[in-house]
Structure 1
Amino acid sequence: MALLKVMLLLGLGVSVNSDVSLQKRIIGGHNCDDTDRLYHVRLEVTNGQTTTICGGSLINPKWILTTDTCWKSGEGWYSQVVLRVHSRTGGRKISGIQGKPVVYAPEGWHHDIILLKLPRQQIDIPLAPLPDCSNRPKIGDTVQLAGEGATTTGPNNRHLSNAAAAPHLQCVDMNVVQLSHFLQPYGRLFSASAPNKDACYGDAGSAVVFNGMIYGVISPGLPVYACERPVLIMDVCEYIGWIRRTIGHK
């Protein structure tokens, strides 16, 4: 299933290069407020030649929520977590995670959502509030997406896979256009869209926020050209029991 996800990404125009292969970018957004999203995490995974950068969210002093596609492991791969990237303090780097990523795979294949356990608690960073699943976003509701990638596209509005990252975390508002549904190989998703706005290479794994809580995680499904179709978002409420059990929340 991991191979299938990689093949889908390659089919959607993701390039692998010797510099940085960014997993989605925000287009048509704005600088996030300096006091918001302090829980945002950057994941950097490299094999010495290719570096993949994704987003994530600190939902517990020791746990990060992100996508399965963002994480690579095995011989030659090195992972690093960067905290406090949005508080303009230069970031705090943590090498590796404790144990293996916790995956959701009840059917025998990985849904595109994982939990990463940090080697030590982070007691001075605000946490992303988990959702109130009795009040989920409805069709037409506004949700906020974010990411660290570049804000431009290439010729003919084509998504770029190796542009320079934006100097400031970008936020963008979109409207929910499709409620929770099942789509293999990702899992349970909802979708959001807005004219001339998109999430692109670099934003996968970042939080989708509604009423100040994390209701979604940006998934990497992506067309070749920007603003062609709604953004796919892993539906956190569909996984909330697994999340709470894993991190020890009741």
Structure 2
Amino acid sequence: MALLKVLLLLLGLGVSVNSAVSLQKRIIGGHNCADTERQYHVRLEGSNGTHTNLCGGSLIGRKWILTADTCWKTERGWTNDAMLKVHPRNARVKFPRIQGDIGLYHPEGWRHDITLLKIQIPVTNVQFAPLPDCSNRPKKDDIVQLAGEGAMTTGPNNEQLSNAVAATQLQCVDMQVVEATHFLPTYGHVFSAKAQNKDVCFGDAGSAAVFNGKMYGVISPGVPRYACESAASIVDVCEYMEWIRATLSEK
């Protein structure tokens, strides 16, 4: 399981891959997200004393964060917190980390990789993520924008690194939808997107996939061992809008 960012390992022609070296970890593929966009991005961090977990999320209301289910650790010994207003980094108003007192809500029935976190104290003066117009959801070949703070480096042979340093700026990348919504056990209803030499990484899960300025997806934490090999799986928010609206109105 894993998370998001965007990368391309730039290899010089004729350079062989040495398993003991990471080829200077020169990365391209994504770009710094504009300061005017994605101000609703939330950083989620977990720790059990020996391991850490980095994810993204999206503020969709004064008390609500939408993210991937596996981003909020419920196992014994783990502590979690959420940090708002992490983008842009030069924002004058910073919100403190929110620890504890966060409600956790899942869709009913079998487990899907999407969850709602409820903050006890309402948030003000923060942009909310625009929820989707499900009559115009992304189709095959449409371009969606993914983002996250995941690691921007890979290891030997382009292998993903779960403990790599996170990006210093929120990264955005455009990817093409290659598979329409389908159901995957333990993940739920997902669609897939891919672009040459671009990928999502550990740390990116839970962040938003945007189409036409609206949030249509939550990046799934499934990350292959090697970068840029497989399409990114994205939980389809439209398939869960009835549950989202009901939860926001009832709780």
The interval holding the TM-score normalised by the smaller chain is: 0.7 to 0.9
In the alignment, which residue of structure 1 is the partner of 2:146? 145
In structure 2, distance between residues paired with 1:41 and 1:68: 15
The residue type equivalent to 1:150 in the other structure is A
In structure 1, distance between residues paired with 2:176 and 2:41: 21
Equivalent pairs: percent with the same residue? 58
Check conservation: 2:159, 2:226, Cα contact below 8 A: yes
In the alignment, which residue of structure 2 is the partner of 1:26? 6
User: TM-score normalised to the size of structure 1?
Assistant: 0.87
What residue ranges of structure 2 are gaps of 5+ in the alignment? 8-28
In structure 1, distance between residues paired with 2:106 and 2:100: 14
The residue type equivalent to 1:172 in the other structure is V
Decide which of 80, 91, 96 is 1:93's aligned counterpart. Answer: 96
Cα gap change, 1:117 to 1:97, in 2 (>3 Å): farther
In structure 2, distance between residues paired with 1:58 and 1:97: 17
RMSD of aligned residue pairs (Cα, Å): 1.6
SS at match of 2:87: coil
Cα gap change, 1:46 to 1:91, in 2 (>3 Å): farther
| Offset of residue 100 of structure 1 | 3.4
Check conservation: 2:4, 2:147, Cα contact below 8 A: no
SS at match of 2:154: coil
* Residues 183-236 of structure 1, C-alpha deviations (whole Å, 9 max, x = no match): 001000000000000001010000000000000000011211011110000000
Cα gap change, 1:105 to 1:214, in 2 (>3 Å): same
| Offset of residue 92 of structure 1 | 2.0
In the alignment, which residue of structure 1 is the partner of 2:78? 77
Cα gap change, 1:32 to 1:99, in 2 (>3 Å): closer
| Offset of residue 146 of structure 1 | 0.2
In the alignment, which residue of structure 1 is the partner of 2:23? none
Runs of 4+ with deviation above 3 angstroms: 97-100
* Residues 26-50 of structure 1, C-alpha deviations (whole Å, 9 max, x = no match): 2121000011100000001111221
Q: Which has the larger radius of gyration?
A: 2
